[in-house]
Amino acid sequence: MPQPSDDMLTQEGLALDRRAGRILLIACGALAREILDLKTANRWDHMDLTCLPAIYHVTPEKIPAAVREAVTKHRDTYDEIFVVYADCGTGGLLQQECENLGVEMVAGPHCYSFFEGNDRFAEIAEDEFTAFYLTDFLVRQFDAFVWKPMGLDRHPELKDMYFGNYTKLVYQAQTDDPALTEKARVCANRLGLAFERRFTGYGDLATTLAEL
């Protein structure tokens, strides 16, 4: 009986390693907690999650190349890959990259839109162009992702230049957490803005992942 060749063994190993029927979510690190909560609540055990650095939130030009690298790394292992980013400030480049790679991504201009619900956000956007949005993640990480990257920890006098045209801070709450609400209110006070809390839950993120 002929012995299996090295090529046959390699192919068999790849077949065994491939995660049949599984979906890989390549997501912004800022969405990790929300995605894991949704996975647990809905028993989406067929989904695996890998996250790119959340700090790309302030350097969106890095997102398309990072997504391309992640898809290339994992595509031979999963039956399907889904990118859990909206445009997120890439100016359409992420959408083009996903089309080139043959993978789908979350619809919408940014996470504030899909948490609100893209249709709803489109309706209110014109009336809220002077609103500054925070999510649960950004409330928790306000200093690391807003205050310090803008240099306000070193030059607080820049606050009026950055936020002088804003009128309110809208906290889009994914969870009902009084402590986070209070922290969001403090963030609004630090920026000199009126405060509004809006419970959005997971919005289109939940319905989009449910379709997978």
- pLDDT tens for each residue of 161-204: 999 999 999 999 999 999 999 999 999 999 999 999 999 999 99
Q: Residues 108, 118: contact at Cβ < 8 Å? A: yes
Please give the Cα distance from 142 to 182 (Å, whole number).
Answer: 13
pLDDT digits (tens, 9 = 90+) for 98-150: 999 999 999 999 999 999 999 999 999 999 999 999 999 999 999 999 999 99
Please check whether residue 133 is in contact with residue 170, taking contact to mean a CB–CB distance below 8 angstroms: yes
Question: What's CA 191's distance to the chain center, in Å?
Answer: 24
CB-based contact 55:30 (threshold 8 Å)? no
Say whether 182 sits in a helix, a strand or coil.
helix
Cβ–Cβ under 8 Å, residues 81 and 72: no
Residue 108: C-alpha distances to residues 51, 82, 88 (Å): 19, 15, 9
Output the pLDDT for position 207.
97
Please provide the average confidence, as pLDDT, over all residues in the chain. Answer: 92
pTM for the structure as a whole:
0.87
* pLDDT computed for residue 18 by the predictor: 64
